[in-house]
Amino acid sequence: MITKFGSLFAGNVDLDQIGLEGTPANERWLSNEHLTTVFDKCQAMAQLMDRLGYDTWWAAEHHFQREGYECIPNLLMLFVHLAHVTTRIKFGSGFNIAPMWHPLRLAEDFATADILTGGRIIFGVGRGYHTREVETFGAPMLDQDANRALFEEQVEIMFKAFNQPSFAHHGRYYDLPPKVPYRGYDLEELTLVPRPRHLPVECWQPIVSASQRALDFMAQHGIKGIIGGGAAAGGANERVVTAWRETLARHGRETELGGDLIISYSVHLAATEQQAIAEVRQYFEENMKMFGPLGFVRGLTADQLVALGDPARARHAGLPTMEEAVQAGSWLCGPPDLIIEKLMAIQEKYPGLEQINVGCTTMGTPLQETLAQLEWFGTEVMPVFKAQAKAPAVAD
């Protein structure tokens, strides 16, 4: 039963000249003053969502994006600030990119933020997908096998540090602690200082490729999954949801379909579905310009990828359309009653699903439009589902 709502913000600033005929993604080079407007945008969204009763504001960690698409480099620092200008909403790391961190530094920073905010920060980890980011920080991205192996060892270390009063780890990438003398004794173990006050740490990870290895790793560590949103298309593949449920069962956790998941949907409200599609088309196209060359728009040919960067060719290259996205269910468009109807159908299909993320911040979406969409959804759609949690159970 869907009763909790969040929204994931990738970190884009307001942009002009967007859509297929707009400025090519690689030609955007914004001023520092423009790029830093992302922080005011974050605060405005978080404060509105806090007032309306949303449960979680999620954001993504990214680096070096002079184009203005994903401009938040440090989630935990931002979340500590936002916690002090809001009252109850939680803040979700969607996601801290572990290969760009030393795992103990990330664990310390999260623990500090957990304490300073009274437990209002949700931990989330990912492997990354930008070579410009991950490889610049000295970690593998082109070598996917090495990236995954590094990520898995880092997560192992962080959970040891969170959960054990003292720990040691000797693996392929990390030897912790190093074999050194310290103040008259040989160092054999470490203690994370501080450790999180709120244990066990709730942790989320994106489900993208849904390889069995990745799903098993998540289930083994009690990590929950987010499908869609950010770089990934909205909505969920039933095969992936079923594979996740079967994986959890093999690891001893029985759930209904959709359990231990958040599914993200891009949403745009308007008087009609057709009007919503027309209003949001340019943001959908800008999003494709950003993520298509990174491999997140499936089925694009090499020629279509080239055309995405050419305003004169893109419109005639047979690229995916908003109409197709709505038909596929990754976008929910239309008046509140239609959105409620579609979400009710999703709830029936996935009875274990408790949380969804509402995507109102597709690349290029102006702040004022995002705020208007969040408020409209929060006042006319969300209360219908929130009321389900308060309704008395019907006796058999």
- What does the pLDDT look like over 150-205, one tens digit per residue? 999 999 999 999 999 999 999 999 999 999 999 999 999 999 999 999 999 999 99
3-state secondary structure of 1: coil
Q: Which amino acid is at 373?
A: Q
- What does the pLDDT look like over 43-72, one tens digit per residue? 999 999 999 999 999 999 999 999 999 999
| pLDDT at 253 (0 to 100) | 96
Q: Which residues of 162-176 are buried (b: 16+ CB within 10 A; e: fewer)?
A: beeeebebeeebbeb
User: Which two structure tokens, joined as six digits, stand for 356?
Assistant: 């969804």
| pLDDT at 324 (0 to 100) | 95
Residue with tokens 């995405």: 308
pLDDT reading at 234 higher than 70: no
Q: Residue 371, CB half-sphere, CA atoms under 13 Å: how many?
A: 15
389 pLDDT band, cuts 50/70/90, is: confident
| pLDDT at 235 (0 to 100) | 65
- What does the pLDDT look like over 89-110, one tens digit per residue? 999 999 999 999 999 999 999 9
Q: Which amino acid is at 134?
A: V
Bridge partners of 232? 229
Q: Name the residue with higher pLDDT: 390 or 345.
A: 345
Alpha-carbon dihedral angle through residues 348, 349, 353, 359, given to the nearest 10 degrees: -100
Rounded CA gap, 86 and 45, in Å? 11
pLDDT reading at 396 higher than 60: no
3-state secondary structure 116-144: HCCCCEEEEEECCCCHHHHCCCCCCCCCH
Phi-psi region of 101 (alpha: psi -120 to 50; beta: other; left: phi over 0): beta
pLDDT reading at 231 higher than 80: no
Query: Which one, of 326, 328, 323, 330, lies nearest residue 359 by Cα?
Result: 330
Is residue 3 within 8 Å of 352, Cβ to Cβ?
no
- What does the pLDDT look like over 345-364, one tens digit per residue? 999 999 999 999 999 998 88
CA 54 to chain CA mean position, Å: 16
Angle between helix 103-116 and helix 75-83 axes, rounded to 10 deg: 0
- What does the pLDDT look like over 328-340, one tens digit per residue? 999 999 999 999 9
pLDDT reading at 393 higher than 70: no
Write the DSSP assignment of 240-293 as a string of letters. Answer: HHHHHHHHHHHTT----TTTTEEEEEEEEE-SSHHHHHHHHHHHHHHHHHHHGG
- What does the pLDDT look like over 265-311, one tens digit per residue? 999 999 999 999 999 999 999 999 999 999 889 899 999 999 999 99
pLDDT reading at 81 higher than 60: yes
The yes/no answer on whether domain 4-88+207-390 falls in CATH 3.40.190.10 is no
| pLDDT at 362 (0 to 100) | 87
249 pLDDT band, cuts 50/70/90, is: very high
Question: Over the chain, what is the mean pLDDT?
Answer: 95
Is residue 58 within 8 Å of 6, Cβ to Cβ?
yes
Q: Where in the chain is the domain with CATH 3.20.20.30?
A: 4-88+207-390
**First and final CA of the chain: distance in angstroms?**
18
| pLDDT at 248 (0 to 100) | 98
| Sequence-distant (≥ 6) Cβ neighbours of residue 232 within 8 angstroms | 206, 208, 264, 296
For residue 190, how many other CB atoms are within 10 A of its CB?
18
- The DSSP bridge pattern shows strands 185-186 and 181-182 to be antiparallel
Q: Which amino acid is at 14?
A: D
Query: Which one, of 123, 110, 37, 41, lies nearest residue 80 by Cα?
Result: 110
